[in-house]
């Protein structure tokens, strides 16, 4: 009976096997109780439910994605610091982390950073800004958007639960079989990993479909594809990558699940299993995934560099084609992730050359951005600082990438810290700096006040210097032959480098702490930095043409385009901020509880599958399916905002616009900046 009710779950699942694990689990539990207590104290539950969790507004869904991402970022950074600390003390000593715990840490660190930090962050930014940029009132399928968030969030929740009950996988973020098969990993750890990934990959596939259809079908009149801001262009590339690249991951993890649950033999050692099928499918997903991660950052940089240089983007068409080429090429290089796994030299050569080709469109982009800055009215804002650091550091990481694209060289450094240095060098200045600058750039648009500028700069310097300290030594360590994922080592020459890397990790922790401080300080000073008018950075694209935060319906009347940088051109011609002749009622999707219901059922299902609690798994799937079917009978899926209400909202905003004196771009970091820029005004 107990085993029917609780499956494999027992008292042994509690993390009392080590002090660190117990501590980590208590932080999760205390954190969750603390947040719940805080919401109760401010009586926030009704608002949380009606304004956020059930909302189908793309802007709110985007913000919720980013909240998930920040929580997971904090956890994954702490894990990184623990690993770095272990390597400092791990010279000729077993240190404070036993090998199995160390392996859990690098597995969760990688899994979280890719699937639950980076993906939600970029999807969140796209969700928030892309529909505004193309002049749409929402994405094509608002409910699907909410359900996608639910899938991603349930995967993230499963990751957090794994900290409190049972142990996580030790198989790395890529989970290669046969090690992750039942024979070698009999615990529930790999199952946690499988279901967290499966849930997030399903959510991401649906997001890709949603964004692609939105961009193809919901652009405002005159917004031709070649007038779209670069950020939205990368959204299109990324969604196409998601549509094609996520399913192989879903298939690979589900086949691994079948091996583990139904004793099948896809990837096992015996009985005709073939682990290479897994490796190929995983990287058929994994390589396009790299560009799913990097293209959004390219999109953000394209926006911020143009905005903070007050110049139209140089080489727009070449930037578009470069993005598209990168997206296409990303499907032709997956074998470079396993040059050493037995295919012939000719095959390696083909994939090596294809890999080097990707450097060409990326180089085009770097030059385009530099030429955009050339003779611009450059303001070294926080997003610009990130962009500058990115261009320098990314070139270094890209150089390392071209080196490793050569299979001969790859044989020398594969499985060493050189590789770890390379991909962190791509993903931190590439992805993360891009996301952080996007966060700084669009934050005032989302909340109506600017983030604290000085703290923003401190965060930037801590991240950049911390990154250099933490990862440049890893190149050297890799060249010296230090294997990645080493919990203990016996080579004295490694020690100084690991100490420098540890200093870097501490600086990055400082950056994380400063991010929290910045948020608190910015919220406290929100009245002084209020930018309700909505255009604090002298923006060029459409999202800056509405109030901050934007009204629920985004645009009172649908904009018409006859140029790129439409809003900037309007400002120059004095056409901005005009009230339309008439207002019309606007129909928007009504709230739906299906998103939160999906999240809860999927957490239950994932948890139940992990612990073999079959009744709960079946129940979860049935409730989810029942919810979807019930929803299909609901005919009241829309709400209408009356013309009067729209007029009131717009009039109030336009009044604020006209009462606000324009601020020159040079003063945009001071409290004079109330969201109306004078830069473009003649």
Partner 1 sequence: MTGLTSAASHGAHSDEQGSSSRHPGLNLHQHDPQAHDAAEELLFGFWIFLMSDLVIFSMLFATYGTMLNSLAGGPGPHQLFDLGSTAIETVVLLTSSLSFGMATLSMKYDASARKTGLWIFVTLLLGLVFLGFEIHDFSEMISKGGFPSRSGYLSSFFALVGTHGLHVTVGCIWLVVMLVQLRVFGLDSCVKTRILRLGLFWHFLDIIWVGIFSFVYLLGLAP
Burial 282-309 (b: 16+ CB within 10 A, else e): bbbbbbbbbbbbbbbbbbbbbbbbbbbb
113 binds partner 1 (CB under 8 A): no
Chain Cα centroid distance, residue 426: 14
Shortest approach of partner 1 to residue 604 CB, angstroms?
21
312 binds partner 1 (CB under 8 A): no
User: Using the rule CB under 8 A, which residue among 31, 179, 182, 265 binds partner 1?
Assistant: 265
Rounded to the nearest 5 percent, the helix, strand and coil shares of the chain are 70, 0, 30
Q: For residue 57, give the nearest of 653, 586, 601 by alpha carbon.
A: 586
User: Using the rule CB under 8 A, which residue among 59, 101, 219, 365 binds partner 1?
Assistant: 219
| Beta-carbon contacts of residue 586 (< 8 Å; ≥ 6 apart) | 137, 553, 556, 640, 641, 646
137 binds partner 1 (CB under 8 A): yes
Q: For residue 485, give the nearest of 493, 476, 474 by alpha carbon.
A: 474
Q: Which stretch binds partner 1 (CB under 8 A): 3-11, 269-277, 374-382, 386-394?
A: 269-277
HSE-CB of 70 using CA atoms within 13 angstroms = 16
Q: Rounded to whole angstroms, what are the CA distances from 82 to 13, 173, 501, 658?
A: 22, 17, 12, 53
How many other C-beta atoms can be found within 10 angstroms of the C-beta atom of residue 332?
15
The site map against partner 1 for 589-618 (x = CB under 8 A) is: x-----------------------------
Shortest approach of partner 1 to residue 209 CB, angstroms?
5
In the complex with partner 1, the residue whose CB is nearer, 227 or 457, is: 227
User: Using the rule CB under 8 A, which residue among 80, 82, 129, 220 binds partner 1?
Assistant: 220
Contact 551, 648 (CB under 8 A): no
Shortest approach of partner 1 to residue 285 CB, angstroms?
10
343 binds partner 1 (CB under 8 A): no
Shortest approach of partner 1 to residue 248 CB, angstroms?
5
CA distance 663 to 680: 11
Shortest approach of partner 1 to residue 584 CB, angstroms?
7
User: Using the rule CB under 8 A, which residue among 27, 67, 218, 526 binds partner 1?
Assistant: 218
133 binds partner 1 (CB under 8 A): no
In the complex with partner 1, the residue whose CB is nearer, 388 or 541, is: 541
| Cis? peptide before 538, omega within 30° of 0 | no
641 binds partner 1 (CB under 8 A): no
Q: For residue 220, give the nearest of 208, 207, 232, 206 by alpha carbon.
A: 232
Shortest approach of partner 1 to residue 281 CB, angstroms?
6
User: Using the rule CB under 8 A, which residue among 67, 243, 357, 495 binds partner 1?
Assistant: 243
Q: Which stretch binds partner 1 (CB under 8 A): 383-391, 477-485, 514-522, 630-638?
A: 630-638
Residues 531-560 that bind partner 1 (CB under 8 A): 558
DSSP string, 535-547: -TT---SGGGGS-
User: Using the rule CB under 8 A, which residue among 633, 636, 661, 682 binds partner 1?
Assistant: 633
Q: Rounded to whole angstroms, what are the CA distances from 416 to 106, 422, 474, 476?
A: 14, 10, 9, 10
User: Using the rule CB under 8 A, which residue among 262, 527, 578, 636 binds partner 1?
Assistant: 262
Distant-in-sequence contacts of 334-338, Cβ < 8 A, 24+ apart: 334/280, 334/283, 334/284, 334/286, 334/287, 335/283, 336/287, 336/404, 336/405, 336/407, 336/410, 337/279, 337/283, 337/286, 337/287, 338/279, 338/283
In the complex with partner 1, the residue whose CB is nearer, 272 or 342, is: 272
Q: What are the phi and psi torsion angles at 483 (to 5°)?
A: -65, 150
Shortest approach of partner 1 to residue 133 CB, angstroms?
14
User: Using the rule CB under 8 A, which residue among 212, 384, 462, 546 binds partner 1?
Assistant: 212
Q: For residue 302, give the nearest of 292, 317, 313, 291 by alpha carbon.
A: 313
281 binds partner 1 (CB under 8 A): yes
638 binds partner 1 (CB under 8 A): yes
Shortest approach of partner 1 to residue 264 CB, angstroms?
4
Q: For residue 275, give the nearest of 173, 176, 171 by alpha carbon.
A: 176
636 binds partner 1 (CB under 8 A): no
**What residues make contact with partner 1 under the rule CB under 8 A?**
136-138, 140-141, 205, 208-210, 212-213, 216-223, 243-244, 246-248, 250-252, 255, 258-259, 262-266, 268, 270-274, 277, 281, 284, 558, 584, 586-589, 625, 629, 632-633, 635, 638
């Amino acid at each position: 009976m107990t085993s029917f009710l609780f499956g494999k779950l027992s008292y042994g699942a509690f993390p009392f096997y080590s002090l660190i694990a117990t501590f980590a689990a208590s932080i999760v539990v205390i954190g969750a109780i603390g947040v719940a207590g805080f919401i109760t104290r401010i009586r926030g539950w009704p608002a949380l439910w009606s304004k956020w969790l059930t909302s189908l507004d793309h802007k709110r869904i985007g913000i919720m994605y980013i909240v998930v991402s920040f929580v997971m970022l904090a956890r994954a950074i702490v894990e990184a610091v623990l690993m770095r600390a272990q390597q400092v003390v791990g010279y000729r000593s077993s240190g404070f982390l036993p090998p199995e715990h160390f392996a859990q840490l690098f597995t969760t660190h990688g899994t979280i950073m890719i699937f639950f930090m980076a993906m939600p962050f970029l999807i969140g930014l796209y969700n928030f800004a892309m529909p505004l940029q193309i002049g749409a009132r929402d994405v094509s399928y608002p409910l699907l958007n909410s359900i996608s968030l639910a899938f991603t969030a349930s995967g993230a929740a499963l990751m957090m639960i794994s900290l409190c009950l049972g142990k996580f996988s030790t198989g790395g973020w890529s989970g290669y079989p046969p090690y992750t098969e039942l024979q070698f990993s009999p615990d529930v750890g790999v199952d946690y990993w499988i279901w967290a990934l499966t849930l997030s990959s399903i959510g991401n596939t649906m997001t890709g479909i949603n964004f692609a259809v939105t961009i193809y079908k919901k652009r405002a009149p005159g917004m031709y594809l070649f007038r779209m801001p670069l950020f939205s262009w990368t959204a299109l590339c990324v969604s196409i990558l998601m549509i094609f690249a996520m399913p192989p991951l879903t298939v690979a993890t589900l086949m691994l699940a079948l091996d583990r649950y139904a004793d099948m033999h896809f990837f096992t050692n015996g009985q005709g299993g073939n682990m290479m099928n897994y490796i190929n499918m995983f990287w058929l997903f994994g390589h396009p995934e790299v560009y799913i991660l990097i293209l959004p950052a390219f999109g953000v940089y394209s926006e911020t560099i143009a905005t903070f240089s007050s110049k139209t983007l140089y080489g727009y068409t070449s930037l578009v084609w470069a993005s598209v080429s990168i997206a296409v090429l990303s499907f032709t290089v997956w074998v470079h992730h396993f040059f050493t796994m037995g295919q012939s030299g000719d095959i390696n050569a083909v994939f090596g050359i294809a890999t080097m080709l990707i450097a060409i469109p990326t180089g085009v982009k770097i030059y385009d951005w530099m030429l955009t800055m050339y003779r611009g009215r450059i303001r070294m804002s926080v997003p610009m600082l990130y962009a500058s650091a990115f261009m320098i550091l990314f070139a270094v990481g890209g150089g390392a990438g071209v080196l490793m694209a050569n299979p001969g060289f790859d044989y020398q450094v594969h499985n060493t810290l050189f590789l770890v240095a390379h991909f962190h060098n791509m993903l931190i200045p590439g992805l993360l700096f891009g996301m952080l600058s996007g966060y700084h750039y669009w934050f005032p648009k989302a909340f109506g006040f600017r983030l604290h500028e000085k703290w923003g700069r401190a965060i930037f310097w801590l991240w950049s210097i911390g990154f250099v300290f933490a990862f440049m030594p890893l190149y050297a360590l890799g060249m010296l032959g230090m294997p990645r994922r080493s919990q203990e080592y016996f080579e004295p020459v490694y020690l100084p480098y690991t100490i420098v890397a540890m200093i870097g990790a501490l600086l990055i922790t400082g950056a994380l702490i400063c991010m929290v401080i910045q948020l608190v300080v910015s919220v406290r000073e929100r009245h002084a930095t209020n930018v309700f008018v909505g255009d604090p950075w002298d923006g060029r694209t459409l999202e800056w043409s509405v109030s901050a935060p934007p009204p629920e319906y985004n645009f009172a009347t649908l904009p018409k385009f006859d140029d790129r940088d439409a809003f900037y051109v309007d400002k120059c011609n004095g056409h901005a901020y005009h009230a339309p002749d008439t207002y019309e009622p606007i129909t928007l999707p009504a709230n739906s509880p299906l998103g939160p219901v999906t999240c809860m059922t999927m957490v239950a299902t994932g948890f139940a599958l992990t612990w073999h609690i079959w009744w709960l798994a079946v129940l979860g799937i049935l409730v989810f399916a029942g919810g979807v079917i019930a929803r299909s009978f609901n005919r009241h899926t829309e709400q209408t905002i009356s013309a009067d209400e729209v007029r009131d909202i717009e009039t109030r905003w336009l009044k604020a616009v006209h009462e606000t004196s324009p601020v020159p771009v040079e003063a945009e970091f001071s409290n004079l900046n109330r969201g109306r820029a004078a830069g473009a005004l003649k």
